[in-house]
Amino acid sequence: MDLSKIDIKVYNDLAKFPWFMIGDDGKLRVRPDSGVPAVIDDHSHLGWSYFFGGVVDHLKYYGPTQYFYNYDEPQDVLNEKAHPTDAEAKMIEKDIYMMLFRCPPIARSQTVPNLLEEMDRFNVTHIMSLPIEVPIRSRHARQTMAACKTSDRLIPFAAVHPQTPSYEKRIRDMAADGARGLKYHPEFQFCAPDNKRALRIFEVCEDLDLPVLCHAGSTGSEPPFMQKLAQMHRYRVVFESFPKLKFILGHSGLNNIDEALAYAKEFEHVYLDLAGQPVNQTRYIIQNADVNKVLYGSDWAFYPMGVTLGRTLVATEGMPEEVRQKVLHDNAARLFKIGN
């Protein structure tokens, strides 16, 4: 089958591929006989609530998942890079403003019941849940750690804001409580990776052998001051300073793929995450990187899980079967010590 000739304009069109089907419930899912390997997803976020608004109960079902990016509108699902659209950006902004006063309506749908249900549909055995800590009244890391205790399929990451005075104790406590890595987001946390406050966090992680997944690069739609915080050149001193600490470049640098690839080639301890990359870029990354250092990530619930999985399956079609197995499962299993 020539996959390039299949027109995928909305999310459920992915069922045109041999790996997917529409279930009796009307939802997209992996076919039982698809041959898709068990998937380990290195990139997801439970719904967040900060500031003075109501807390998201991660164990509660509030209704169907609301995604930040809409793939039910006609578009090139496999290759679209325009997310967030202007409408989506306004929706996300509104959800953030809601946190000042009440529980955010979109984020509150992104809870454990919906996450596990979607994992079941897409053959995901384990998923990393990445909290993001902000400077004021932040509780996302604490909530994520608690939520992940409800299922051994949910693997929490630690997170602290760089300005937190007790950053070291908090990281060590979360690691002792089961965190398998740490999430660092220079744009949302307003702190570049080469800032001394960030470097001291990485120092603790190196001591604990706690891999760090960093948001890296930009889409070009972010405010200029935020783009500067995640520029790829700001990671060089980090990689040189902590040679024993494994780093995962989230989204493989977004629009800065070649810089991310160069880092992964130069530094043995730098890995690449595929979350959010279109088909052609995903294929390019896999073909030009050490395939043993490429990790699959959905970035749920910005994206529905089927988007990135479909893109990865299309990108790896025609490659040796072991490539797909490594990217979707084996590399993450080894890095995060999952299973045997």
Mean predicted confidence (pLDDT) in 138-144: 91
Q: Does residue 298 have a pLDDT over 70?
A: yes
Question: What CA–CA distance (Å, rounded) separates 131 from 285?
Answer: 26
Q: Does residue 102 have a pLDDT over 80?
A: no
Of the given ranges (1-10, 71-80, 140-149), which has the lowest mean pLDDT?
1-10
Q: Is the pTM above the cut of 0.85?
A: yes
Beta bridge partners of 52: none
Could you give the C-alpha distances from 299 to 95, 176, 209, 274, 283, in angstroms and in order?
Answer: 18, 25, 24, 9, 18
Residue among 162, 188, 202, 175 at smallest CA distance from 302: 188
> For residue 91, what pLDDT band results from cuts at 50, 70 and 90?
confident
Residue among 177, 215, 138 at smallest CA distance from 169: 177
Mean predicted confidence (pLDDT) in 129-145: 89
pLDDT, tens digit (0-9, with 9 covering 90-100), for 166-210: 999 999 999 999 999 999 999 888 899 999 999 999 999 999 999
Domains, the chain: 13-28+38-335 (3.20.20.140)
What pLDDT score was predicted for residue 326? 99
What pLDDT score was predicted for residue 197? 96
**What's at 60, amino acid-wise?**
K
Mean predicted lDDT score pLDDT of the chain: 94
